[in-house]
Amino acid sequence: MGLCALFLLTLPATAQSRPQSTAQLNAKLQHHLKTMEKDRQVLRFLDSHRWLLKDARFESAAKRQLRLHTTSLARTKKLAVVTQLTIERRAKARRIAALHAASPATAIRTVFGPYWREALAVSRCESGLSPSAQNGQYLGLFQMGSSERRLYGHGPTAYEQAQAAHRYFVASGHGWGAWSCKPW
């Protein structure tokens, strides 16, 4: 008997420790939202029928329902917030992973915004759009030197290199004077 109780007590903890899919998280969030709506309905009903809390025939049950649904609403709100944040965090991680896996042209378009055509032309001239291009100390899509990489960053992906070049571009007053290749 004691072993069964121990198993039942540890079951929810192990079930929750497994990662959940996005579909499971969305279903969980929908369940939380429905629970919150039911709790709010009961609380609205009790608010508009305050006499139930004072009538000796219903007072005990009404107060119990008020406590139950107030507690449930507060707890479920917290669970819904945690679930929503988990969904958003995973979506952001997927977007970032996709950006890091993006082609050089896509990375440049994403990072440089309205200046992407100019940046694409500079990168095509500097490296042939190759993140692994190297010419002495100059590396990557935009052939940034060691001191520029130290100041503005660098990385193995086209996205990271485009971000570093954009920081350099902004620090240079949105100009291409620091690069030997120009977009015009």
pLDDT in tens, 28-87: 999 999 999 999 999 999 999 999 999 999 999 999 999 999 999 999 999 999 999 999
Give the mean pLDDT of the chain.
92
Asked whether residue 38 is domain-assigned, the answer is yes
Among the candidates 75, 100, 125, a domain finishes at 100
Q: How many residues does the chain have?
A: 184
Asked if the model's pLDDT at residue 15 lies above 90, the reply is: no
My answer on whether 108 and 95 are in the same domain is: no
Residue 9 belongs to a domain: no
Task: Indicate the SS3 state at residue 175.
Answer: coil
- Summarised one tens digit per residue, pLDDT across range 128-156 is 999 999 999 999 999 999 999 999 999 99
At 16 the pLDDT is 54
Same-domain pairing of 134 and 65: no
Residue 133: left if φ>0, alpha if ψ -120 to 50, beta else—which one?
beta
State if pTM tops 0.85: no
Residue 57, SS3?
A: coil
Q: Which residues lie below 8 Å from residue 62, measured CB to CB, with a gap of 6+?
A: 46, 52, 53, 55
| 129/85 same-domain check | no
pLDDT of residue 19: 75
Q: Which domain holds residue 49?
A: 21-100
Residue 14 covered by a domain: no
Work out how many domains the chain is built from and give that number.
2
Determine the pLDDT at residue 6: 43
Among 100, 132, 159, where does a domain finish?
A: 100
Structure tokens given for 105: 């042209």
* Structure confidence at residue 131 (pLDDT): 97
pLDDT higher than threshold 50 for residue 14 = no
Residue 109 CA: distances (Å) to CA of 68, 119, 123: 53, 8, 12
Q: In this structure, are 90 and 26 located in the same domain?
A: yes
Whether residue 157 is found in the same domain as residue 130? yes
The alpha carbon of 108 is separated from its chain's Cα centroid by a whole number of angstroms, namely 22
Q: What is the CATH number of the domain that holds 114?
A: 1.10.530
Amino acid in the structure at residue 14: T
